[in-house]
Amino acid sequence: MKKVLSYIAYVLVYGFWYTMSLLPMCVLYVFSDALYLLVGRVVKYRHKVIWKNLKESFPEKDEAELQRIECDFYRYFCDYLVETIKLMTMSRRELRKRMVFTGTDQMNVLLEKGVSCAVYLGHYGNWELITSLPLWVSEKGQCCQVYHVLENERFDKLFKQVREKQGSICIPMAETLRRIIDFRQKKQPIVIGYISDQAPFWNNIHHWLPFLNHDTPVLTGSERIIKKTQQAVFYGDVSRISRGHYRCDMQLITTEPEKYKDWEITDEYFKRLEKTIQRQPELYLWSHKRWKRTREEFNLRYDEKTGRVSLEPLDEIIRKKIRNDFCKR
């Protein structure tokens, strides 16, 4: 029964997505405006999370400015949704107009030499349109993006189909290193996108840095893979030129990542991402609980003797620590 319901849901979602994607963007933006009134004005989707993130990230801004950013975020978020819907049937010609890449000349030179390239990106602007990068890079390079596999196989297949439409390949996060090594063995240079601004799980926290006025735990797996496979490193600096039109400037960070100390590349990525966000703050994914894991809680969970992080409920960890401290007296 569960499989039947899942299939029915898939058919309905696919049918709705495909039908809506056939509409011109001007009509879809009318839907976006209506959705904004519902999401941003009536429901106020994740308002508490958004407001907390904005207030803590920009303490120098007054309440009126923060409210403007929040309002503009809701508008952008609704545009992001309809633009992603359109992506299913958007032509290559229109894609090249809506997402323009600059700085790809350097990337193409490296690909022609057989050098693979890594691109650091954030949940900023319409990151789904970045899947059109194959339209801008040398045919010698295979474009890929690391992604989280969805639990529902049918929906996972649907999103992969849309993201891979322009020739890019989706690589499950758990298979990243193995797939990259496979490409190296075949002497196939790749361009691989890492959206690495998410919050790591407790047991994957190895580095903290200042980011948007927060002491922030960050993912470091991308840097380790980049160094191990000797990829040239770029940062994708995204900006919105006008409604539905974006530019991504490919900024070369280094062609010799192995010469950098641990986490220096990660630090550079977050410095650049912060500048990008400060330029157009409404385009960042503020609805995500980015700073839900704090250093204070990490220190409570971390066991110096074993070097491991406990995943038990925090209340239980605190009780155990109190009990252990009492027994030592």
Q: What is the pLDDT of residue 121?
A: 97
pLDDT for res 325: 66
Rounded mean pLDDT of the chain? 94
User: pLDDT tens digit string along 246-280?
Assistant: 999 999 999 999 999 999 999 999 999 999 999 99
Tell me: the pLDDT tens digits for 148-159? 888 888 888 888
CA 43, 47, 50, 54 dihedral sign is: positive
Residue 152 confidence (pLDDT): 84
Q: How confident is the model at residue 329 (pLDDT cuts 50, 70, 90)?
A: low
- pLDDT tens, position by position, 267-326: 999 999 999 999 999 999 999 999 999 999 999 999 888 888 999 899 888 887 777 766
Please give the average per-residue pLDDT across 50-62, as a whole number.
Answer: 98
How far is residue 225's CA from residue 119's CA, in Å, rounded to a whole number? 12
User: Is residue 87 within 8 Å of residue 98, measured between CB atoms?
Assistant: no
Give burial (CB, 10 Å; 0-12/13-18/19+) of 42: exposed
How would you label 74-112 residue by residue, b for 16+ Cβ within 10 Å and e otherwise? Answer: bbbbbbbbbbbbbbbbbeeeebeebbebebbeebbebbe
d(CA 152, CA 159): 11
Q: Is the pLDDT of residue 135 over 80?
A: yes
Task: Dump pLDDT digits (tens) for 3-24.
Answer: 777 778 888 888 999 999 999 9
Q: What is the model's pLDDT at position 327?
A: 67
Distance of CA 261 to the CA centre of its chain: 24
Residue 43's pLDDT band (boundaries 50, 70, 90)? very high
pLDDT at 101: 98
The full set of domain ranges for the chain reads 2-283, 295-328
Collapsing DSSP states into helix, strand and coil, what is residue 255? coil
The mean per-residue pLDDT over the stretch 177-198 comes to 96
pLDDT band at residue 328 using 50, 70 and 90 as cut-offs? low
Predicted local distance difference test score (pLDDT) of residue 115: 97
Q: 120 pLDDT band (50/70/90 cuts)? A: very high
Does an H or E element contain 191, and which?
strand 190-195
* In the chain, % of residues over pLDDT 90: 84
Distance (Å, whole) CA 35 – CA 18: 19
